[in-house]
Amino acid sequence: MINLPANIKKKAQFLLMTMLCASAPGCATTKPNTQEPAQTQTPANYPTLPDAWFAVWSPLGEPPLIEFTFPAPQDMYVGEIHRASGHLRFGKARTFDRARGRFEIFTHAVEMGEHDLTQNVQNAIDMLYAKRFPKIYYEIRSITSNAEKIEFNKQTPITLHGLFKLKGVTFTQDVQATVNITQNQSDHPVMRLTGSFTITDIKSRFDISGPGDPEQEAANNVRLKFDFPLVPEDVAKAIKAKELSERRPFNQAD
- Assess if residue 37 is contained within a domain: no
Task: Return the ∠ at Cα 155 (arms to 154 and 157), rounded to 5°.
Answer: 130
Residues of the domain holding 155: 52-245
145 to 65, 177, 192, 230: CA distances (angstroms)? 23, 10, 16, 19
Regarding predicted confidence, which is higher, 76 or 34? 76
Above pLDDT 70, what percent of the chain?
77
What pairs with residue 93 in β-bridges? none
Kindly state the average pLDDT of the residues 195-222.
90
Domain contains 127: yes
- For residue 5, pLDDT over 50 is answered with no
Residue 13 belongs to a domain: no
pLDDT-based confidence at residue 41 (cuts at 50, 70, 90): low
**pLDDT at res. 219:** 87
Query: For residue 224, what is the domain's CATH number?
Result: 2.40.128.110
- Whether 252 is covered by a domain: the verdict is no
Question: 15 lies in a domain?
Answer: no
pLDDT in tens, 153-189: 999 999 999 999 999 999 999 999 999 999 877 778 9
Residue 46, exposed/middle/buried by CB under 10 A (0-12, 13-18, 19+)?
Answer: middle
Mean pLDDT of 61-70: 87
CA distance 76 to 73: 8
Residue 168 lies in a domain: yes
**If pLDDT is split at 50, 70 and 90, which confidence band does 32 have?**
very low
User: How far apart are alpha carbons 130 and 136 in whole angstroms?
Assistant: 10
Task: Bin 128: left if φ > 0, else alpha if -120 < ψ < 50, else beta.
Answer: alpha
Q: How many domains is the chain built from?
A: 1
Task: Tell me what the pLDDT averaged over the chain comes to.
Answer: 82
Q: At 209, is the pLDDT very low, low, confident or very high (cuts 50, 70, 90)? A: very high
The confidence score (pLDDT) of residue 240 equals 81
Residue 62: pLDDT band (50, 70, 90) is confident
Query: Does some domain include residue 139?
Result: yes
Distance CA 228, CA 218 (A): 26
Say if residues 212 and 55 touch (Cβ distance below 8 Å). no
Q: pTM for the complete prediction?
A: 0.77
Per-residue pLDDT reduced to its tens digit, 96-120: 999 999 999 999 999 999 999 999 9
DSSP tag of 152: B
Residue 174 belongs to a domain: yes
Q: What angle do CA 107, 136, 180 make, to 5 degrees?
A: 105
Question: Is the pLDDT assigned to residue 141 strictly greater than 60?
Answer: yes
Contact 61, 82 (CB under 8 A): no
* pLDDT beyond 80 at 46: no
How much is the pLDDT for 17? 45
- pLDDT recorded at residue 135: 95
